Amino acid sequence: MFLVLLLLLLAQESQDADRLQAAQRLMDSGRCAEAIPVLRELVAAHPQAPTLQYGLGRCYFEVEDFRQATATLKGVARLLPESAEVRFYLASAEGLDGDLPGGIEQLRAAMKINPRFEPAFRAFGMFRVQSGAFSQETIDALETAMRLDPTDARACYWTGKYYQVQGDMERAREFYEKSYKIDPDDPPTRLAMGQVLLADGDDEAAIGLFDSVLKIQPGMVPALLGRGRVLDHQGKAREALEAAEAAQRGALTFEDRSGAEWLLQHVYRELGREDDARAAGERLTRLQAGLDSDVVRLRELTERANRYEAEGRPERVAETMEAFLKIRETSGALVTLGDAYVALRRNRDAERCYVRAGQVGPVTDTLRERLRRVREAQGREEKK
């Protein structure tokens, strides 16, 4: 994880050297949880040793304590401001802790510090796709990652995802195939490749990929729906029904629920179960009607929130936007709710809203400024 020799040079006593060696052995064997207490003591004894802090931050990251990893690695970044590697791991911790905008900014800095540090470009493109930012900057970063490391399967996968979300299935397939050739065992790549093949009518290849994903994650609804559609195409209605019913039981999102009901309606009809087909069709209609009625309800809530905001009643704005977000999650609604929380001095809740806004919508300069202000406010509160 980092050089023992450099760590040993920081030690002032033989006891420290022994503990450093012990921590190194634990980390090398993947026992980061056991290394953390040792590293904490060493960091306390040598607070200006960035390599020690970096090791501690990496250990927190490995045990998935992303909040502590972020806090520790921020300190390392202050001590080593020109390290692209430190900023990459700080960005990864921030992103996994829910702060995609913060992670994106760290990655942008890492790319500037070292234009040949490939992981930063790949992670930047990934975070941007996840946040819905399908700009030229996003695809440029992913293409740079693939140019710097043609064997990076994840860079190929996220490039495929970039094109798939925009409806360019031909280009999506090109990059999913590259990712699959590099890492054929990766479940997300298999699922995505299966969906592309299904859209192209290559049922046999598609179902093989869906089945391989389901062996790893038996209840994954998109894979169940893909399998059900292939079986339906093959005239195996009873097997398709089994997959469709499993998908219906596990569906949570509108897309998964509507996909399950559509498939059930079709398969029931193939089996001559007209009453069941009619019931599935009615459920699908209600889902779609609910979507239409949601539009009206959301418009009403938006108008109400605007009125409360003009009247200077942040508590009612918050109440209204909380109701809005139970129906649909949008970046604008999250920002409005965050602003209301700020007015109510609920800064931690406001931060969560702004972070989430950056995940579901564009990361604007205005949003970055909101995050900066609310975090400064939290810092002042913690010092009191």
Reported as a single tens digit per residue, the pLDDT across 199-214 is 888 899 999 999 999 9
Q: Where are the domains of the chain?
A: 296-384
Across residues 114-126, what is the average pLDDT? 95
Instruction: Determine the average pLDDT of the residues in 237-248.
Output: 94
The Cα–Cα gap between 219 and 187 comes to 13
Name every residue whose Cβ is closer than 8 Å to that of residue 329 and which is 6 or more positions away in sequence: 356, 360
Separation between Cα atoms, residue 238 and residue 232, nearest integer Å: 9
Is the pLDDT higher at 99 or at 308? Answer: 308
Task: Return the higher-pLDDT residue of 293 and 233.
Answer: 233
Least confident of 40-44, 220-224, 299-303, 310-314: 299-303
pLDDT cut 70: percent of the chain above it: 93
- Measured CA to CA, the distance from residue 241 to residue 292 in angstroms comes to 28
Name the residue among 225, 223, 212, 221 with its Cα closest to residue 186. 212
Tell me what the pLDDT averaged over the chain comes to: 86
- For residue range 129-186, what is the model confidence (pLDDT) as tens digits? 887 777 888 999 999 999 999 999 999 999 999 998 888 888 998 999 999 999 988 8
Res 2 pLDDT > 60:
no
Query: Given pLDDT bands bounded at 50, 70 and 90, which one contains residue 384?
Result: low
Please list, in sequence order, all residues whose beta carbon lies within 8 angstroms of the beta carbon of residue 302, skipping any fewer than 6 positions away: 324, 333
Does residue 12 surpass a pLDDT of 50?
A: no
Which residues have C-beta within 8 Å of that of residue 284, sequence separation ≥ 6? 258, 261, 262, 265
Burial of 376 (0-12, 13-18, 19+ CB in 10 A): exposed
- Looking up tokens 């927190």, which residue turns up? 60
| pTM for the full predicted model | 0.66
Average pLDDT for 321-332:
84
- Domain 296-384 belongs in CATH node 1.25.40.10: yes
Alpha carbon distance 147, 107 (integer Å): 18
On the question of pLDDT at 326 being above 60, the answer is yes
